[in-house]
Amino acid sequence: MGEGECLGLMKTLISSRHAVLLLPQFRSLKWGDARRAEGVMHKRTTPKIFGRAKQLHRNMTEAEVKLWSHLRAHRMGNIHFRNQHAIGNYIVDFCAPRKKLIIELDGSQHLEQEEYDAERAAFLKSKGFRILRF
């Protein structure tokens, strides 16, 4: 079985989450290979936005680090939060996907981008999210 065939088969099996990687012909492949081969990293965003979210995660502000220490690992009422979470073309500071809740820590740069923030908020609200801004 060629690599292209393996990727095709993996693509069809990704959503079923079977243990495909245990088969010898799939040992060299990782779970995201089929999606990355097509340029799709995640269902909710693009590879570019996902990469930017990773950068922001690694370089959080001091305020974000402090809040994250309280939100991470289900510490707030057993609610699962993600930090620097990509949704569409936007990256939110903290998100509880199951509760459809977003927490934003806005710095002074947000005073100059009110129109962008309004557009962003409208998009996120259209997806069913509630947004708390500090």
For 61-86, what is each residue's pLDDT tens digit?
898 999 999 999 888 888 999 999 99
Report, at the CATH architecture level, how domain 47-133 is classified: 3-Layer(aba) Sandwich (3.40)
- Tell me whether residue 45 is exposed, middle or buried, using C-beta atoms within 10 angstroms of its C-beta: 0 to 12, 13 to 18, 19 or more: buried
Per-residue pLDDT, 44: 74
Write out the residue limits of the CATH 3.40.960.10 domain(s) in the chain. 47-133
Rounded distance between C-alpha atoms, residue 60 and residue 121, angstroms: 21
**pLDDT over 90 at 99, yes or no:** yes
Q: Across residues 98-105, what is the average pLDDT?
A: 94
